[in-house]
Amino acid sequence: MPITGLKAQEIFENHPTRFTKKEKHALRKTLRAELLRMGYAEGEITEIDASGTNLLVGDPRAEYMFTAHYDTPGRTGWMLRTASLWGQTGANVFLILLICLLGFAIPLGGASLFPEASASQLFWSGELSILTVLVVMLLSMTIKNKNNRNDNTSGVLSLLSLAEKVAADGEMRKKCCFVFFDNEEWGLLGSGGFAKHCRKNGIDLSRTKVINFDCVGYGDVLTFARTRSSEVADSLAEAFREAGQQPVSKRSAMIFLSDHANFKNAVMVSYTRKSRVGLLYLPLIHTARDALCDIEKINRLTEDVFRFAKEGRF
């Protein structure tokens, strides 16, 4: 069954942010109720407290693990304002260069304006300017972003769509599990804690095919990204190409740093846009303008992923 616009609207309106513990708990309660309605048993739905509260559905030893983070970010979109010009990686590089430039320019400017200033005073003025920018960056992370439909309500809706399809298919139900990760926005803490929890409990995830949905509600370039060599990333991209689509497959840590990075055989699925110079970026994320999410796009994507998994294409 596809995810309906009504169900999506319910989450958009009732759970626009999942930033505080209370907000996260409320969403998990809604997700649990929806999963029970689909036919999953209480015993199949587990909360794993490991660097956040991760919601696991099914057996993590399954062949396929579909994942998405459910927490939402702070107001850090200003750091990526230049992404539409030269891509996400370019925006990150620009920000780093700008901070470094401040560290050099302020002491040099101070030397010309205040020739009596000592070298030590000029040095610390540059250090203080860098520290100020870093403090602003950290503070912006603590102010919750009010709209998060693409990042990452779209991923949550993708898992619900897939979970309903899997629930109705006895064969696939044995092969699939789902994990809604917490604290992705704070450095992939939830997925890192979950991976550590599995290792500690003797659960081998080295052969598990991890498909992570992050920012799939807006954009026009279907993108498969990995942080290391990944068979599932290559085979999933090939399945889409054979179906007549033109996905972009790439290896990158700077633009696509998401929960898939904590697993050996994993891929991040997203929709991106091309910047003015042709480089990829994730549009509108971490800003109040993240208010767009194409439900039909999500339904088409999850229908294809489910079909390819059932056919053993990846």
Looking at the fold, whether 213 and 265 belong to one and the same domain comes out as yes
- So what's the pLDDT on residue 156? 98
Query: pLDDT digit string (tens) for 25-84?
Result: 999 999 999 999 999 999 999 999 999 999 999 999 999 999 999 999 999 998 888 999
Provide the CATH number for the domain around residue 169: 3.40.630.10
Q: How many CB atoms lie within 10 A of CB 204?
A: 11
Per-residue pLDDT band for 13 (boundaries 50, 70, 90) equals very high
Per-residue pLDDT band for 275 (boundaries 50, 70, 90) equals very high
Q: Which of 96-100, 149-153, 224-228 has the highest mean pLDDT?
A: 149-153
Looking at the fold, whether 189 and 56 belong to one and the same domain comes out as yes
> Given 107, 141, 175, which residue is the final one in a domain?
141
Instruction: Decide if pLDDT at 93 tops 70.
Output: yes
Looking at the fold, whether 102 and 209 belong to one and the same domain comes out as no
- So what's the pLDDT on residue 215? 97
Instruction: Decide if pLDDT at 304 tops 70.
Output: yes
Q: What is the DSSP string of the chain?
A: -PPPHHHHHHHHHH-S---SHHHHHHHHHHHHHHHHHHT--GGGEEEEESSSEEEEES-TTSSEEEEEE----BS-GGGGTTHHHHHHHHHHHHHHHHHHHHHHHHHHHHHHH-TTS-HHHHHHHHHHHHHHHHHHHHHHHTSB-S--IIIIIHHHHHHHHHHHHHHT-HHHHHHEEEEEES-GGGTSHHHHHHHHHHHHTT---TT-EEEEE-S-SS-SEEEEEESS--HHHHHHHHHHHHTT---EEEE-SSS--SGGGGSSSEEEEEEEEE-TTS-EE-TTTTSTT-----HHHHHHHHHHHHHHHHTT--
- Give the per-residue SS3 of 121-146: HHHHHHHHHHHHHHHHHHHHHCCECC
In a domain, 84, yes or no: no
Report the percent of the chain where pLDDT is more than 70. 89
Is 118 or 202 the better-scoring residue by pLDDT? 202
In a domain, 111, yes or no: yes
Looking at the fold, whether 116 and 69 belong to one and the same domain comes out as no
Looking at the fold, whether 221 and 256 belong to one and the same domain comes out as yes
Query: pLDDT digit string (tens) for 100-159?
Result: 777 665 555 544 555 665 667 555 565 677 777 788 888 889 999 999 999 999 999 999
Range of the domain at 67: 5-75+145-310
Mean pLDDT in residue range 182-208: 97
Question: What φ, ψ does residue 28 adopt, rounded to 5°?
Answer: -60, -35
Looking at the fold, whether 131 and 152 belong to one and the same domain comes out as no
Cα 108 from chain centroid (whole Å): 40
Count how many domains the chain has.
Answer: 2
Looking at the fold, whether 123 and 213 belong to one and the same domain comes out as no
